[in-house]
Structure 1
Amino acid sequence: MDTVDTEIVAIAGAPARPACLVVRLPDGTLAQTAQLDSGQRATVGRALPGGIGEALPGGGHRVTTAVLVEVEVGTTRHRTVRFVRLREGL
């Protein structure tokens, strides 16, 4: 596993309690995180007010303000991305 800081570009689920995140990895690719647990959903939801943009097909939303997060990226054949924490103050 590699740990990287990245930016949220979209969320899946309700803006107040997103189910998972879409992040832009350092190589420029987009990746969806694994499901967030209930504490992570609340934490990310509090960081997003006012930063939610247009709705996307399938129930997601674009994120319009920069919200940085730390994620773990699996380096196996099937890449996995797991949310670790918000990176506030960067």
Structure 2
Amino acid sequence: MRQHVDLASDHLANLKPNVESGFWVMGGASLDEPVKEGEAAKINGSVMMAVADTKEEVLAKIKEDLYYTSGVWDVEKIQIFPFKSAIRSAL
């Protein structure tokens, strides 16, 4: 298996067209604790937000993702649910 750094870089590059199209609007690692300087992040999962009409549409995109096809994501734990934002601010 390829090194994790290469896989992460390819994963992000492969997401880019779906980010530019507005399908994926947010994503990143979920952590056990805030990242501490000089230490690796303690990742426990990930979160992605999509603009889609159905769960099936989101699942189809997930199944195309490098992290899905390479076994990085635990596919048994994937959860897809509707979300309606009540508040937000630009980062």
Pairwise TM-score range, normalised by the shorter structure: under 0.3
The answer to which structure has the higher strand fraction is 1
Q: Whose Rg is larger? A: 2
Structure 2 length-normalised TM: 0.25
The answer to which structure has the higher helix fraction is 2
Structure 1 length-normalised TM: 0.26
